[in-house]
Amino acid sequence: ENELNQQLNSKRNELTQKYLAELKVSTNEYDLEIVNLQLDLYAYDARVYIDDAQRAAAMAEKAKKEERLKELLAKRKPSDFDVDSIKAKVQAELAPMQQKGQEELNQYAASLQKELAEKRDSMVQQQAQAIIANNNLPVAQDWNDTWAKKLSDKEAEVSALHEAILEDVRMRVTIIAEEQHLDLVIIDDGGNIKGLDITDAVKASYRVQ
């Protein structure tokens, strides 16, 4: 950020001298310094500050330059050149340079923020692992894997029990059908079919052990 501001100031001084020479007017001893001070003060508002300390230092510099500008304006005699016109020309030429520098600063800030976030995440992870180790707590992934296996085993157990119950019912239905000389047994009939209902007989077979 400081390097960018130095480059902008150097280029600003170069352009200011260039446009002053093109005006072909006699300038007194204060004109160049006045223009430079005005441009410097204008540039403070466009600067990018990394933190409050840097901004405070810059504002202190700005205050000193404002006092110096007041002194020079009080001493300066009227001249023929237009300071505002020069300032506008200089700023127009500096705009691309300033924009490019701003983009580079933004990229650097984003990169720095990403790096800090990665370090923070790594530190948090290390602290979490230390707490787990010191308190003999299960590792989150291991705990998840263990419970996932337990749930899977329980689902398999329930499924096997369900199949065993169905098989037992089928066996009892087969025995009852043979005893009652039935050739066909329909389960969960939703149609309008007349036949012998052996549901109660199946239930009764469970009561007789």
Cβ atoms of 118 and 111 within 8 Å: the answer is no
Q: Report the pLDDT value the prediction gives residue 78, as an integer from 0 to 100.
A: 46
- Cβ neighbours, 10 Å, residue 15: 18
3-state secondary structure of 138: coil
Mean pLDDT taken over the chain: 77
Res. 140 pLDDT band, cuts 50 70 90: low
Instruction: Determine the Cα–Cα distance for residues 47 and 110; give it in Å rounded to an integer.
Output: 18
Torsion angles phi and psi, residue 107, rounded to 5: -65, -40
Question: For the segment 88-107, what is each residue's pLDDT rounded down to a tens digit?
Answer: 888 888 888 878 877 887 88
- Give the contacts of 48 (CB within 8 A, at least 6 positions apart): 1, 4, 102, 105
pTM of the model: 0.32
Residue among 175, 171, 173 nearest 186 (CA): 173
